[in-house]
Amino acid sequence: LYKESSPDSTQLQLKTEMTSYLYHEIACCGVSVDEKYIVSGDLGGNVLVWDPTLPGDTPVFSTRVEDRVRCVTTLRRGDGVTEGVTEGVTVFIGTLSGCLLQWRLGGELSVVTHREDTVTCI
């Protein structure tokens, strides 16, 4: 959706360009410090990871949690000189019910802690 203004009126027009990912209402997003990944989360529990150097809009990694995602961030350990592009990359996910999860890209999710309040920022 984009806004187009004119002296007489303001009109809203729908953007008609189609993408391969049909719907992802983003609740939060983050960029890795090394700018290799863009991460987003939604209230449906989806966490998607994109590589901005690749063409198209298909995520390179995705996972789903059993809660609404409220915040995401990434952490990369090591000196950055690794054999695998995902080696050492962890995504931290904060949820509306208070869970803080960690997800090593290509691996399993694990619970770091559970609080009684919403995790709104990491």
pLDDT in tens, 24-41: 688 999 998 888 899 999
pLDDT in tens, 42-72: 999 999 999 999 988 789 999 999 999 999 9
pTM of the predicted protein model: 0.72
Q: Is 54 left (phi over 0), alpha (psi -120 to 50) or beta?
A: beta
Residues 6+ apart with CB under 8 A from 9: none
- The CA dihedral of 53, 56, 61, 63, to the nearest 10 degrees, is 140
Q: Is the pLDDT higher at 85 or at 104?
A: 104
Say how far apart CA 36 and CA 39 lie, in whole Å: 10
Confidence of residue 77 (pLDDT cuts 50, 70, 90): low
